């Protein structure tokens, strides 16, 4: 059983409603699994908490269509029901839109419409979404932010006229919100205000859960044949230490799991609270929010000194890139000393840099050889005072090119986020790269 929860636009309530459905379905005894379309580290954390399951990303830019489908099949086939939360609006994102993911996985779609200050127009929106691409199985609508019973009736009657099923309506409730800041929702690792019991009660009383299950049951079986991992040979045992705490939490589970499948032993450490680096062959500093915890990171001087003395291979992405620099200027303009492995300073700005990228290596590095191209994405508000030229980046939609990142004999750091599941040869290169 599977279905995709999509929105007419961003901020429609997809994450809250998907989390509520996961909780309600799980408490009915169903073994649930969760997914998020597109490049996203934060929403999957909320899905993971609500479903008490791992939450994977489905992204045909980072993985290709075949690998995206393979990942879904591999991770869902032992579960009773899979819920996929879409990104942005249903049709936004071009070839990687949640509409394309729905077609790739033959998943029924439930559309969420924020009906605040809207009446019959909600039905017109739903009809337009249904008719825009008839290859999408739009199985029903949930309306969010309704004000009264009469408000619901107006929309319900108009949906009946266009033959679209209303699956539920959720009243406006200021308590049903998730905290946000500059990169979107605040990760669940940083707060405990996610009231799942209240959310479950609202969902149970507002949505026809049995009809949701029936829609998920209507999805046809997927072919379970896959063999793309069969030609990957495990490498010799490699110990990989991963920085993971409130400051560094941006990791794709399928990416780390693939490293493990190749023979890596993953261990986790905290740059915030641990005194020194653990013994390891390779280190990964992922993305996150070092700007929020810059003071605490700077105060942990023994960890910073341990990193400065490290001669093993280090891969750093985005927040990890910032942490390895000489200093970090936080959102209030206060400067803090960081690890100093990279002679640059990072500082926060008011404008985000967002999008998919192709990165061409300008020299050999610990991931790939000169001239090789890596697919990834970036999403950050910080900038560097100066960057060396580890990669030439190209934006696929505009063709704009620019250089950035830092590469040395044992360090590769940039704003590029990658997914090893989508580039399995890259994973092999990384694990077999020699230490200095």
Catalytic residue numbers read 318
With 0-12 / 13-18 / 19 or more C-beta atoms within 10 angstroms meaning exposed / middle / buried, residue 177 is exposed
**Tokens standing for residue 337:** 């000393």
Residues whose CB is less than 8 angstroms from the CB of residue 311 and which lie 6 or more positions away in sequence, other chains included: 410, 435, 436
The candidate with the shortest Cα–Cα distance to 195, out of 46, 89, 93, is: 46
Taken in order 88, 171, 153, 201, the sign of the CA dihedral is: positive
Per-residue buried b or exposed e for 16-47, using 16+ beta carbons within 10 Å of the residue's own CB: bbbbbbbbbbbeeebebbbbbbbbbbbbbbbb
* Helices and strands, counts by H and E, the chain: 13, 23
Contact 419, 64 (CB under 8 A): no
Query: Residue with structure tokens 């969902």?
Result: 203
Q: Which helix (H) or strand (E) holds 378?
A: strand 373-384
Question: What six digits make up the tokens of 30?
Answer: 């169903």
Structural contact between residues 20 and 200, judged by C-beta atoms closer than 8 angstroms: yes
**Bridge partners for 89 per DSSP:** 7
- Strands of 411-414's sheet, edge to edge? 264-269, 238-243, 282-285, 313-317, 411-414, 406-407
Structure tokens at 407: 């590469």
**Which bin fits 391, alpha (ψ -120 to 50), beta or left (φ > 0)?**
beta
Q: Indicate if the alpha-carbon torsion angle 9, 12, 15, 20 is positive or negative.
A: negative
**CA pair distance 300, 378, nearest whole angstrom:** 28
**Collapsing DSSP states into helix, strand and coil, what is residue 76?**
helix
């Amino acid at each position: 059983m599977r279905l995709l929860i999509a929105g007419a636009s961003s901020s429609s309530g997809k994450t809250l409603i998907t989390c509520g459905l996961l909780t309600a379905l799980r408490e009915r005894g169903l073994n649930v699994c969760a997914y998020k379309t597109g490049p996203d580290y934060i929403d999957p954390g909320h899905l993971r908490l609500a479903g008490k399951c791992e939450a994977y990303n489905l992204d045909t830019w980072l993985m290709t269509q075949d690998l995206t489908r393979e990942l879904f099949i591999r991770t869902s086939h032992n579960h009773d029901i899979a819920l996929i939360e879409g990104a942005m609006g249903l049709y936004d994102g071009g070839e990687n839109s949640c509409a394309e993911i729905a077609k790739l996985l033959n998943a029924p779609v439930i559309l969420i419409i924020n009906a605040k200050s809207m009446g019959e127009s909600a039905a017109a929106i739903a009809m337009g979404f249904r008719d825009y691409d008839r290859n999408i199985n739009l199985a029903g609508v949930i309306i969010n932010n309704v004000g009264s019973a009469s408000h619901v009736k107006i929309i319900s009657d108009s949906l009946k006229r266009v033959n679209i099923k209303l699956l539920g309506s959720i009243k406006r409730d200021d308590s049903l919100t998730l905290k946000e800041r500059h990169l979107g929702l605040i990760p669940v690792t940083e707060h405990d205000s996610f009231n799942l019991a209240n959310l479950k009660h609202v969902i149970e009383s507002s949505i026809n859960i049995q009809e949701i299950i029936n829609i998920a049951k209507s999805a046809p079986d997927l072919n379970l044949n896959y063999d793309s991992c069969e030609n990957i040979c495990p490498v010799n045992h490699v110990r990989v230490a991963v920085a993971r705490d409130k400051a560094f939490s941006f990791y794709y589970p399928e990416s780390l799991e693939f490293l493990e499948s190749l023979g890596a032993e993953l261990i986790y450490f905290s740059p915030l609270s641990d005194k020194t680096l653990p013994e390891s062959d390779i280190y990964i500093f992922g993305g996150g929010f070092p700007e929020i915890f810059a003071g605490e990171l700077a105060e942990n001087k023994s960890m910073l000194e341990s990193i400065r003395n490290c001669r093993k291979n280090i891969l750093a992405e985005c927040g990890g890139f910032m942490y390895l620099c000489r200093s970090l200027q936080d959102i209030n303009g206060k400067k803090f000393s960081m690890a100093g492995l990279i002679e640059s300073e990072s500082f926060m700005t008011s404008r985000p840099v967002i999008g998919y990228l192709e990165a061409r290596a300008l020299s050999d590095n610990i991931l790939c050889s000169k001239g090789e191209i890596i697919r990834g994405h970036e999403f950050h508000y910080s900038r560097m005072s100066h960057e060396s030229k580890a990669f030439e980046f190209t934006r696929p939609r505009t063709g704009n090119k620019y250089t950035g990142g830092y590469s040395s004999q044992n360090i590769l750091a940039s704003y590029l986020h990658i997914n090893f599941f989508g580039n399995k040869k890259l994973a092999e290169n990384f694990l077999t790269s020699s230490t200095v």
